[in-house]
Amino acid sequence: MRSALPALLSLVLFACGEDEGASKAASCDHRFLCEAPLSFAHRGGGKLRPEETLPAYENAAAVGAHVLEADVHTSADGEVVCMHDATVDRTTNGSGAIHEKTLAELKQLDAGYHFSPDGGASFPWRNKGVTIPTLGEVLDAHPDAWWTIELKQLSPSIVDPVIALLDQKGATTRTVLVSFSDDVVQEIREKRPDILTGMGVGEMLALNALSDETEQDYEPPTRIVQPPASAVNAELMARAERLGLRIHVWTVNDRPEMEALLDIGVHGIMTDDPALLGQVLSER
């Protein structure tokens, strides 16, 4: 879902203060607002299977991930496909931008080509027929799954085709749509206020700018906040509790860090290793 870009991380670091004000309780009409802690299979669990592929999502569901996470772009012929990067180079045997290739061309690529569980000693998913999936394919494969979907492509907008697919597959009530772009997030809310969204960067900056005094009159644009794990501490969690916010952090693959974040009360953890997170949760 996210990339470790230092400049971007600096945008979402939070400064949180103490406050004696009453907590603004979140209503429990949606799984993302009610259940915690949630295990998110980041990119389908890219440490265990080729990321953002059907085998990845199948494995994530098998090991008990509560939420599947995907990133989306559109092909040259307008099909919504699952991939983190804007190009196919890192994860397939091809090269070039997704938006410059038709779906048929994308389907010719080996999406398991570069996956190696042992640092390059072996490539067990090469030549196994693993392809770049469409969003429709992964939704069909997991008709009851809960999703966090990040709209990576900013221009042209892909809000309409993504929402159309969610409607077609009956997934709107099981999905949180997110984007770093405030414009994309706002477009989603204007077109479909019934679909849950995460905070954009500008909204997280506004949250960051709150003082103990201004917090009293603050009305969050959404209750879902997805910051990097490095930005989260006990003070932020206390503020989230007061404001009725749900904090889902990314991306955590280390057991001690998972334990520490759970200890301070995060509501969800995105991980490339949902099997490990499942073990951690089962032991608590």
Q: Is residue 105 part of a domain?
A: yes
**Count of helices and strands (H, E) across the chain:** 11, 9
Q: List, for residues 228-246, the tens digit of each pLDDT value.
A: 999 999 999 999 999 999 9
Between 231 and 5, residue with greater pLDDT: 231
Q: Is residue 1 part of a domain?
A: no
First to last CA, the chain: 27
* pTM reported for the whole predicted model: 0.90
Of 38, 42, 60, nearest to 265 by C-alpha is 38
- Residue 167's CB is within 10 A of a number of other CB atoms, namely 12
pLDDT score recorded for residue 30: 84
| Partners of 41 in the β-ladder | 68, 271
CATH number of the domain bearing residue 84:
3.20.20.190
- Cis before 220? omega within 30: no
Q: Is residue 191 part of a domain?
A: yes
Q: Is residue 64 part of a domain?
A: yes
Q: List, for residues 7-53, the tens digit of each pLDDT value.
A: 343 444 433 333 333 334 445 668 899 999 999 999 999 999 999 99
Calculate the dihedral angle through the C-alpha atoms of 249, 190, 23, 257, rounding to the nearest 10 degrees: 0
What are the CA-CA distances from residue 166 to residues 30, 78, 80, 226, 241 (Å)? 16, 16, 11, 21, 30
pLDDT score recorded for residue 208: 79
3-class DSSP assignment, residue 186: helix
Percent of the chain scored above 90 by pLDDT?
Answer: 85
Contacts 24+ apart (CB under 8 A), 108-115: 111/50, 111/52, 111/53, 112/50, 112/53, 112/55, 114/50, 114/90, 115/49, 115/50, 115/51, 115/91
- Residue 237's CB is within 10 A of a number of other CB atoms, namely 18
Q: List, for residues 175-197, the tens digit of each pLDDT value.
A: 999 999 999 999 999 999 999 99
Residue ranges making up the domain that contains 148: 6-282
Confidence band, pLDDT 50/70/90 cuts, at residue 1: low
pLDDT score recorded for residue 28: 63
Query: What gap in Å lies between CA 223 and CA 225, rounded to an integer?
Result: 7
Residues 6+ positions from 76 with CB-CB distance below 8 Å: 99, 100, 101, 102, 105
Between 5 and 70, residue with greater pLDDT: 70
Q: List, for residues 86-123, the tens digit of each pLDDT value.
A: 999 999 999 999 999 999 999 999 999 999 999 999 99
Q: List, for residues 192-230, the tens digit of each pLDDT value.
A: 999 999 999 999 888 878 889 999 999 999 999 999 999
Query: What gap in Å lies between CA 248 and CA 229, rounded to an integer?
Result: 9
Overall domain count for the chain: 1
pLDDT score recorded for residue 279: 98
